[in-house]
Structure 1
Amino acid sequence: MKRFLLALAAATALTTAQAAIPDPPALRAASWALLDFQSGEILAQSNSDSRVEPASITKVLTTYIVFDEIKKGRVKLDDMAFISEKAWRQGIDSSESRMFLNVGSRVKVEDLLHGVITQSGNDASVALAEHVAGGEGAFADLMNQYAAKLGMKNSHFMNAPGMPDPEHYTTAHDVTLLGLALIRDFPDYYKWFSLPDFTYNGIKQGNRNIMLTMDRSVDGIKTGHTASAGYCLLSSAQRDGRRLIASVMGTESTKYRAEASLELLNWGFRFFESVKLLGADQPSGSVRVWKGLVDEVQVGTLEPIYLSLPRGAAEKVEAKPQVDGTLIAPLSQGQRIGTVNISVDGKLVKSEPLVVLQAVEGGSWWKRLIDTIRLWFA
């Protein structure tokens, strides 16, 4: 919410200087949100913090956890996971969302991941949950721990596939954060979300995300549907180096969730731009240093700061460093020394810690003595 308000403040600051941005599309959905990947800011939303059922979008969190377990070395892609009767029956009870696993068989984790991502297999989701955590209940505990770490403050999960449960819920905002984390943390695995089909057990199934064939810039992420949740879609597209993530929850049909998502993405790409500020190669300025080997040090932020702004507003952005007190060497790289205030058209929209970009060693005893005397008269 804070990021949304800051983005809104930035947009408001520009309304007197340029034409207002057209309103976002009026979507027939229970809720929706549009997020800029680089800045992490919400560009537009409707009921984005209201509870909704995630349905199979839940599987994005399921795969995220498995990817992380692989990264940590606790699970391997070529592990052979046992297919329990519970996992098999979940597939039998879900005639459309299944990988067609055989009870009692063993299946590679890599194949199960494809079965979850492309085929939306409920049976594959349970099999992965059991392989990672020993049981779906323990895996649900993991899901809630991961959700909290990812900032999904209004979500709670009870199962790996996304089956309806009164205590299984999320929000449109939260799932965009999940999409951001997936793409940021596991870019190589994220490529699997754009695969057109997957074949297992002699059965070929196509990716349910029809947006992949509607627009070449779309490369994910996941569909969802139950009778109570409606038709949902978490999507992402990349154009000219920019990436947006959209969540559209509770729509009327497979076709409309895709059309609505694409309309929302098009609006965001057309009327907003991502502006890169600061970073290790773009200091905000130099500051006087006393008692050091050098007399000045560059300051700014070690990592780039991105703002999502209405198109044409980049020239109205200004970053001003504010140093807290006098800088006395030695100083370490990354040491916080104040605040950098970022404004748009004179209106403050974001404040970030101001740090030293290079370490500064203490000077000789003579240099320290001279600077001590100078500071008496400064």
Structure 2
Amino acid sequence: MLNLKKMTLAFVTAVALTGFAGGTAQDASASAYSTVSSTSMTKTAYHKKSTSGAVYNASHTKVVAKLKSYPNTTWYATKKVTLKHNGKKAVYYKVKNGAGTKSGIVWHKYVVKGAAPFGLKYAKAAVAYDADSNKTVWSKNGNTARPIASVSKIMTLYLVQEKAAGSSGSWSSKVNTSYSGLKRMGLDSACGGFRFTKNSYTVKQLFDAALIDSSNNAAIALGQWVAGGSTPTANKKFITMMNSQADEWGLKHTNFVSSSGLEQSDLRTFGYSIGGSDANMVSANDVAIIADHLITDFPSTLTTAKVKSMTLSGQTLYNYNNMLPGRKYYSASLNVDGLKTGYTPKAGYCFVGTGQKSGHNRIITVVLHDENEFTETKSIMNMAYNKNLL
């Protein structure tokens, strides 16, 4: 038995798809776009007006780029094109992005004249800081305190160098590393970084392990040395010193509870939880200021920070800064020579970078909780130099 309902539905569908009805063919080109006119124009910058719209290929049959996916892209128009569609005319611009990787036509009402505002897609907070004039030149949520993971070590290493440069210590001073919690931490695949196979190391050895390889147990041992001890009691005293230094510098969005950047939930296993907040909470702007003090007061820090790898006590220290020469995100013009990476699940990927392009002031950049920390750091640096912000 024939199913008339299904036959009728099939017929209607066929009409819709083929454009035939009652045996009469519709004009197959009626819904196509045709070019009415095309005139050259002075190269003009545009950016997206809202989340609507897209850049299409010249025949308007394929989407080249959805504008909502390019919130900070500047499109350069070189032609004004009038297209006709279903009897109506519309003005389009022939555009190309700055990198030249995307090009096509875009309806003129989907864009607005002017370069796109600079922004970052992934970083929850970020700053660009002029290390010569000591000021922030660009910011995204720069004064919002966030977990900063191992970036915290830049404050620890500042206080270490301060003591090493004084009368009470030196690079060759011995640091007690016998505490069982630190030894267990060094053996932990997630929280370690440098195995303590001896009961003491020099300040310089642990400094290298903490800065190059981001060793957490090395950073904690150094902090205890600064505070005059070798147990969690000295660690707690050192964290008070970290916060006092932040207060002295006038940092308003900084609170330390860890000398290494590990969170309390991890430190508790090794006897180093001091209570209070789970993580160090520091704003991107305050991180930049700490970094500025570190490399200004102790410029030799950068000599260590740009070491890509080295062997210490039979172990390899590996620097995870992928903007150094020979690494994936290296750029010769940016001349990045530091400074510190960081990661925990709570903090996300963090990075404080620094470098000095020829003819410009030294830049310090900070990105916090960023899925593409090196790509976006590179973008910030290029933007700041291209706009002559420093």
Q: TM-score, normalised by structure 1?
A: 0.63
> Aligned-pair distance for 1:93?
3.3
In the alignment, the residues of structure 1 paired with residue 162 and residue 319 of structure 2 have an alpha-carbon distance, to the nearest angstrom, of 23
Which of 174, 185, 194 aligns to 2:297? It is 185
In the alignment, the residues of structure 2 paired with residue 80 and residue 66 of structure 1 have an alpha-carbon distance, to the nearest angstrom, of 13
1:161 corresponds in structure 2 to 260
User: Could you report, residue by residue, the CA deviation over 1:173-231 in whole angstroms, capped at 9, with x for unpaired residues?
Assistant: 11010111111111123321111112123121320111113124001110000011100
Which of 316, 321, 328 aligns to 1:204? It is 316
Tell me if structure 2 keeps the 8 A contact 1:81–1:128: yes
Structure 2 vs 1, CA of residues 22 and 177 (structure 1 numbering), >3 Å: closer, same or farther?
farther
Which of 360, 363, 380 aligns to 1:244? It is 363
User: Could you report, residue by residue, the CA deviation over 1:248-307 in whole angstroms, capped at 9, with x for unpaired residues?
Assistant: 00012xxx1111111111110111254xxxxxxxxxxxxxxxxxxxxxxxxxxxxxxxxx
> Aligned-pair distance for 1:39?
1.3
Which of 117, 141, 160 aligns to 1:23? It is 117
1:266 corresponds in structure 2 to 382
> Aligned-pair distance for 1:61?
0.6
Q: Is 1:145 the counterpart of 2:244 in the alignment?
A: yes
Tell me if structure 2 keeps the 8 A contact 1:129–1:160: yes
Q: TM-score, normalised by structure 2?
A: 0.62
Aligned residues: 252
1:50 corresponds in structure 2 to 144
Paired AA for residue 385 in structure 2: F
- Superposition map of 1:54-203 within 5 A: 54-83=148-177, 84-95=179-190, 97-102=192-197, 105-133=199-227, 134=229, 135-165=234-264, 166=277, 168-203=280-315
**Which runs of 5 or more residues in structure 1 are unaligned?**
1-18, 275-378
Q: Is 1:229 the counterpart of 2:347 in the alignment?
A: yes
- Superposition map of 1:302-321 within 5 A: none
Paired AA for residue 207 in structure 2: L
User: Could you report, residue by residue, the CA deviation over 1:100-127 in whole angstroms, capped at 9, with x for unpaired residues?
Assistant: 112x521111000000000100110111
Structure 2 vs 1, CA of residues 20 and 76 (structure 1 numbering), >3 Å: closer, same or farther?
farther
User: Could you report, residue by residue, the CA deviation over 1:308-359 in whole angstroms, capped at 9, with x for unpaired residues?
Assistant: xxxxxxxxxxxxxxxxxxxxxxxxxxxxxxxxxxxxxxxxxxxxxxxxxxxx
In the alignment, the residues of structure 1 paired with residue 302 and residue 169 of structure 2 have an alpha-carbon distance, to the nearest angstrom, of 18
In the alignment, the residues of structure 2 paired with residue 220 and residue 21 of structure 1 have an alpha-carbon distance, to the nearest angstrom, of 31
In the alignment, the residues of structure 1 paired with residue 188 and residue 377 of structure 2 have an alpha-carbon distance, to the nearest angstrom, of 29
In the alignment, the residues of structure 2 paired with residue 181 and residue 114 of structure 1 have an alpha-carbon distance, to the nearest angstrom, of 19
In the alignment, the residues of structure 1 paired with residue 182 and residue 284 of structure 2 have an alpha-carbon distance, to the nearest angstrom, of 28
Paired AA for residue 106 in structure 1: S
Tell me if structure 2 keeps the 8 A contact 1:150–1:181: no
2:13 corresponds in structure 1 to none
> Aligned-pair distance for 1:25?
3.1
1:342 corresponds in structure 2 to none
Tell me if structure 1 keeps the 8 A contact 2:342–2:349: yes
Tell me if structure 1 keeps the 8 A contact 2:243–2:255: yes
Structure 2 vs 1, CA of residues 97 and 257 (structure 1 numbering), >3 Å: closer, same or farther?
farther
**Which runs of 5 or more residues in structure 2 are unaligned?**
1-112, 265-276
Q: Is 1:37 the counterpart of 2:153 in the alignment?
A: no
User: Could you report, residue by residue, the CA deviation over 1:115-170 in whole angstroms, capped at 9, with x for unpaired residues?
Assistant: 00001001101111121112110110111011112232210111211112425210
Partner SS state of residue 362, structure 2: strand
In the alignment, the residues of structure 1 paired with residue 192 and residue 379 of structure 2 have an alpha-carbon distance, to the nearest angstrom, of 27
Paired AA for residue 231 in structure 1: Y
In the alignment, the residues of structure 2 paired with residue 223 and residue 51 of structure 1 have an alpha-carbon distance, to the nearest angstrom, of 17
Report which of the two structures shows the higher radius of gyration computed on alpha carbons: 2
Tell me if structure 2 keeps the 8 A contact 1:119–1:198: no
In the alignment, the residues of structure 1 paired with residue 151 and residue 195 of structure 2 have an alpha-carbon distance, to the nearest angstrom, of 20
Structure 2 vs 1, CA of residues 233 and 74 (structure 1 numbering), >3 Å: closer, same or farther?
same
Paired AA for residue 128 in structure 1: L
Paired AA for residue 342 in structure 2: G
Tell me if structure 2 keeps the 8 A contact 1:114–1:198: no
In the alignment, the residues of structure 2 paired with residue 173 and residue 136 of structure 1 have an alpha-carbon distance, to the nearest angstrom, of 26
Tell me if structure 2 keeps the 8 A contact 1:66–1:75: no
Partner SS state of residue 346, structure 2: coil
Q: Could you tell me the percent identity over the aligned residues?
A: 25
In the alignment, the residues of structure 1 paired with residue 143 and residue 389 of structure 2 have an alpha-carbon distance, to the nearest angstrom, of 24
